[in-house]
Structure 1
Amino acid sequence: MNNIRQRPIPWDGAARAGTITEAQLAKIKAVDKVKREQRKQVVEGDLDGYRILFLGGPGTTGVLESASKRSDVIQYILVLLSDLLEGVPALVKALFRDPDPYQHLLPLLAHSNNSEDPIPLLTSTVLTTLMANSKDESASTERALPLVLSYLCGLVKNSNDAGLQDIAVMEYSSLLYGKSSRQLFWKQRSETVAPLIEILRKAAGVGGESSASLWSGNTATRSGGFEGISGGVGLQLLYHVLLVLWQLSFEAEDIGNDLDDEYDIVLLYTQLLRLSPKEKTTRLLLSTLYNLLDANPSTLLPTAVLARLPALLQNFSGRHLTDPDLQEDLEKLKEMLEEYQKTKTTFDEYVAEVQSGHLRWSPPHRHQVFWAENARKILEFENGEIPRKLADIMKKPWENDKAVLAIACNDVGCLVKEVPEKRYQLEKLGLKTRIMELMQDSDENVRWESLRALGGWLKYSFEGN
């Protein structure tokens, strides 16, 4: 922006060529290259005039529209407008007297396909400043915000330019000023949230395609993905991504379960806590986890235990922490988890594991007493939710973690063994057919467990005849 501010614009020539009018030129010169306080007085003394300068009015064309053929003028005007929106809060309100203050700005987000063109980026800054400083939630902002988010998500996905990624993520943060904008942000999560999760997975040293390595514990325990390591994530970008997701976590009651179902966020944040390089990142991680678990205790507390969060928090207690807010969040989280662990059962742990969508060889799977006591309860829980979830898990190929399929076959076999009269419930879900398919799997353990499961099925079939 500074380069554009310093660039000389031949204003008089632009006026003679009809690019801008004499009246527009007079208004620009009155605030151009003058001290901040003087600029503020000039604009506050003529708010309607400056609104019309940028946006136009009845029978009057705004400067962004009239100068549309001159990229240098448009760039300069956008920087000037951005400075004025930051320095003169009254102008922000004045622009909203226009029926649609975004009308001439939004098209500039798609000004050209040239990635070097600064106009779309400058426009996104103006739009973000306008929305954030006004905290506007009108219908026109609700229509404009998704377009701004779509533009910014393109920058976030550009992993070759960490500077642009960081600018976009900071603009996200500015835009999440209220419930309405956070809901719109979440509604576009495949564009907005998913790329942020990819950045965090990279920081945690996890491949983007699945959380298999996190669940199995096969990740680096030191700063695997952070700055200084090849292909790492810079601390500033990491902090800003965590800030955005912390802001989003204020909607945890509505989105917390989906956030974990779709992105394994509790598990991911537990791993990031292990690696967190600074207190400021640790504080955001703990605060976000607290918001999520506090709003969704019945579903996410079991997941947190499964992710081994309680043991990690105990380790934190031995560290010298200087941030009082961080210490408070740490204590609140520990208390919440300790209280839950006093009352939880192995059944709760098993349900949480299946609901997480990822199985590992935790103790219940191989425990005969567990199945004898809980098989019927598992089949009846929430009208058969657990076998349905097992069926969903088994539909996936799990190329990176074949153990999941082996464990699922084991569990289905145990259910058939303990409650043979309910095997038709499992057959209706396609589980018997899938187990027969897995007898041809490339993985030896999957073939063995599928054979064992089918053996139990056949045994009860023969006995029933």
Structure 2
Amino acid sequence: SGALLALSTAPWSSAASEMPEGQPLIYRSTASFVKTATKTNEDALAVDVSWNTIASAGIITSDQMALIYSLAEKKENPSLQSGIFKEDGAAYVSLFTAIFEGINKDDVIGYALAMLDEITDSDSRVASFFTKVIADSKGAIDPLKPLYKLLSRSTPFIVEKASVLMAKLVGDVPPMECPPAIVTILNDHLSKLAQWVVTAMKEVHPSEAAESEKTSAAMCGLQSLVSTSRGRAAALQADALLPLEALVTASSVSHSSSTVQLLYQTLFALWSLSYSKEAAAEMTHSKVGLIAKLVEIIKGSQKEKVIRVALSTLRNLQGVGKSNDMMVVNGLMPVLEALQARKFADEDIPEDVEFLYGSLQSNLLGLTSWDVYKTELESGQLEWSPSHKSEHFWKDNHKAFEANECAAIKQLVALLASEDPKVLAIVCSDISEFIKHHPEGRRIVVQYGAKALAMGVLKHPDPTVQKHALTCVQRMMVINWEYLNRS
């Protein structure tokens, strides 16, 4: 909790001054989650709620009924509503708490959530009244608990709005005068929300996520959560990057409208997280090769909003660790050159393209072929780039594989256990080339355990993998391999 308190709400910087528009493992059945058409705040607020009946049932008092009607009369103007709310903040917090605790009807809950969402969007200072009620009661009254319980409801709109509101109400840094015990309560709510979001995203398989109302609701909550530095810290602690990376991977193989929208939401969340130094560092060391995926998305997408947020994410990652080298290795420069020739309605895209192109030029000029190969090898995301097929590369660089106690050889051997057929084929080819060009190549690769793993790869069903694995094993088994009949 201390780490969350220490973070302050940082202004948006680097790639953009404000957030762009848009909303954005274990898998369990989500059959109980009710599928509905997309619902908006306007839809929810169009419901005619009989507050008189609710007051007659004793769920709210007559005074609270007057309060809700005073807001309802101004529902077309959230800025006026926020002004009314702030005139008697504690009373309005008590009103909404009573509604969320005492009413089960979806239409009424949805109405109240939509109204509060509009009010807090109009003036974020409204959130402080919820914190103040907790502080003034020394934690005895917690208006956030009923909201958290709404996350278990089966109606997507209610779950989405409850998660978004929770993020807005606990995401800001508590005031300096806030007692430590109250800060702990707020931090606990923030951590619980982050855990709920991540768990909800993991409950749906990435290949089915684009059509899942649950994923959509969780994603909206996540986007609200990561809009503040405290929220980003909580999301990172809850391992939010894992399901986001899985969604990026799944979304890159489909171009349906729902998949494109989910991809945009996912990239939007990653872009927000990239403002955190810790998250940016993790993103550059992603096991799924996140930078390579982002380059691939920019290259293949026709949607400007997707291109924009992917470019902005790379811009934020620029200069973090070896990210610049990884961008060059994964072919971002020619992609940027192609984008320079295109016309975009979005002014941010050309700006980000020029920034990245200029920043990466020096990296491109300073990279040797060995630097490029080494960076690609360290990422574990191998492509059939020129180095793998170049006779000159292996003649010039075979001795470099001995550096740092044969670190590159160890990495190649480790990748023989990869589940990616393309990676397996390339690794087998590289080991074959190393044996061919290094006088002690056969002994070195066998010393580090390549033989047994390569023989296992011979059983792979992919014919291309089999072909390269066979050559690799032959060169390890036969001392005078150059006499082999190579077709």
Q: Any conservation in 1 of the 2:210–2:258 contact (CA below 8 Å)?
A: no
Q: Do 2:173 and 2:230's aligned partners in 1 also have CA atoms closer than 8 Å?
A: no
Residue 274 of structure 2 corresponds to residue 249 of structure 1: yes
2:432 corresponds in structure 1 to 413
State the partner residue of 1:385. Answer: 407
Q: 1:350 to 1:51 in 2, by over 3 A?
A: same
Tell me how far 1:80 sits from its aligned partner. 3.5
* Residues 1:32 and 2:72 are matched in the alignment: yes
- Mapped partners of 1:327, 1:333: distance in 2: 10
RMSD across aligned positions (CA): 3.6
Q: What is the match of residue 116 of structure 2?
A: 81
Q: What amino acid is aligned across from residue 61 of structure 2 in structure 1?
A: T
Alignment deviations for residues 350-405 of structure 1 (CA, whole Å, 9 cap, x no partner): 21222232334433334444334423321324x4432232223211343xx3x533
**What does the per-residue CA deviation read over 1:222-280, in whole Å, with 9 as the maximum and x for residues that have no partner?**
xxx2xxxxx34576555444332222222366534645633333332223223343544
Distance 1:27 1:374, change over 3 A: same
Q: For residues 413-432 of structure 1, what are the structure 2 equivalents within 5 Å? A: 413-419=432-438, 426-427=445-446, 429-432=448-451
- Whether 1:20 and 2:60 are equivalent positions in the alignment is yes
Is the partner of 1:263 in helix, strand or coil? Answer: coil
Q: Who is 2:226 aligned against?
A: 176
Which of 150, 164, 167 is residue 125 of structure 1 equivalent to?
164
Which whole-Å deviations, capped at 9, do the CAs of 1:414-437 have from their partners, x for residues lacking one?
434555657666445431111223
Q: Does 1:11 align with 2:36?
A: no
Residues 173 and 244 of structure 1 are in contact (CA less than 8 Å); yes or no, is this contact kept in structure 2? yes
- Where 2:48 maps in the other structure, the secondary structure is coil
SS at match of 1:294: coil
- Tell me by how many angstroms 1:201 deviates: 0.8
Structure 1 residues 217-296: aligned runs within 5 Å: 225=255, 231-233=256-258, 237-251=262-276, 254-256=279-281, 258-259=283-284, 261-296=286-321
Q: Do residues 143 (structure 1) and 164 (structure 2) align?
A: no
Is 2:351 the partner of 1:309?
Answer: no
Which structure would you say has the larger RCO, counting Cα contacts within 8 Å and 6 or more residues apart? 2
Residue 308 of structure 1 and its aligned partner are, at CA, apart by: 2.3
Gaps of 5+ in 2: 1-40, 175-182, 482-487
Match of 1:94 among 125, 129, 141: 129
Pairing of 1:386-465 with structure 2 (within 5 A): 386-398=408-420, 401=421, 403-419=422-438, 426-427=445-446, 429-460=448-479
> Deviation of residue 306 (structure 1)?
3.2
Distance in 1 separating the partners of 2:80 and 2:391? 80
Partner in structure 2 of residue 228 of structure 1: none
Tell me the TM-score normalized by structure 1. Answer: 0.75
Give distance in 2, aligned partners of 1:82 and 1:13. Answer: 24
TM-score scaled by length of structure 2: 0.72
Q: Is the deviation greater in 334-343 or in 279-288?
A: 279-288
The residue type paired with residue 176 of structure 1 is: V
Report if the CA contact (8 A) 1:436-1:454 is conserved: yes
* Post-superposition offset of 1:200: 3.9
Is 1:188 aligned to 2:224, yes or no?
no
Counterparts of 1:118 and 1:233, CA distance in 2: 17
- The letter of the residue matching 1:263 is V
CA distance in 2: counterparts of 1:392 and 1:286, whole angstroms: 32
Give the Cα separation in 1 of the matches to 2:462 and 2:44: 60
The DSSP-based 3-state class of the residue aligned with 2:240 is coil
One-letter code aligned to 2:314? L
Structure 2 Cα separation of the partners of residues 443 and 156 of structure 1: 26
Separation (CA, whole Å) in 1 of partners of 2:104 and 2:465:
65
Change (3 A) 1:436 1:83: closer
- Superposed displacement of residue 283, structure 1: 3.1
Please report how far the alpha carbon of residue 96 of structure 1 lies from its aligned counterpart in structure 2 after TM superposition: 0.6
Query: What corresponds to 1:343 in structure 2?
Result: 366
SS in 1 for 2:145: coil
**1:147 to 1:68, Cα distance in 2 relative to 1, 3 A:** farther
1:359 equivalent in structure 2: 382
Indicate how the Cα distance of structure 1 residues 396 and 7 shifts in structure 2: closer, same or farther if over 3 A, else same. Answer: same
Counterpart in 1 of 2:23?
none
> Cα–Cα, structure 1 residues 313 and 427, in superposed 2: closer, same or farther, change >3 Å?
same
- The amino acid of 1:14's aligned partner reads I
5+ residue gaps in structure 1?
56-61, 206-224, 226-230
Amino acid at match of 1:189: A
The answer as to whether partners of 1:102 and 1:144 remain within 8 angstroms in 2 is no
For 1:54, which of 90, 96, 111 is the aligned residue? 96
**C-alpha separation between the residues in 1 aligned to 2:319 and 2:68?**
52
Distance in 2 (CA, whole Å) between partners of 1:160 and 1:325 is: 27
8 Å CA contact retained: 1:51, 1:94: yes
CA 1:450/1:190 → structure 2, altered by over 3 Å: closer, same or farther?
Answer: same
- The structure-2 alpha-carbon separation of the partners of 1:331 and 1:77, relative to structure 1 and needing over 3 Å to count, comes to closer
**Alpha-carbon distance change, 460 to 255 in structure 1, aligned in 2, over 3 angstroms:** farther
Could you say if the C-alpha distance between residues 170 and 31 of structure 1 is closer, same or farther in structure 2, counting changes exceeding 3 Å? same
Distance change >3 Å, CA 164–CA 436, structure 1 → 2: closer
Structure 2 vs 1, CA of residues 176 and 49 (structure 1 numbering), >3 Å: closer, same or farther?
same
Distance 1:392 1:172 in 2: 35
- Once superposed, which parts of structure 1, at least 4 consecutive aligned residues long, lie more than 6 Å away? none
Q: For 2:356, which of 329, 333, 338 is the aligned residue? A: 333
Query: How many residue pairs end up in the alignment?
Result: 419
2:399 pairs with 1:376: yes
Contact kept? 1:371, 1:414, Cα under 8 Å: yes
Q: Which moved more, 1:29-38 or 1:138-147?
A: 29-38
Distance, in Å, in 2 between the alignment partners of 1:336 and 1:429 is 38
- CA separation in 2, counterparts of 1:370 and 1:457? 21
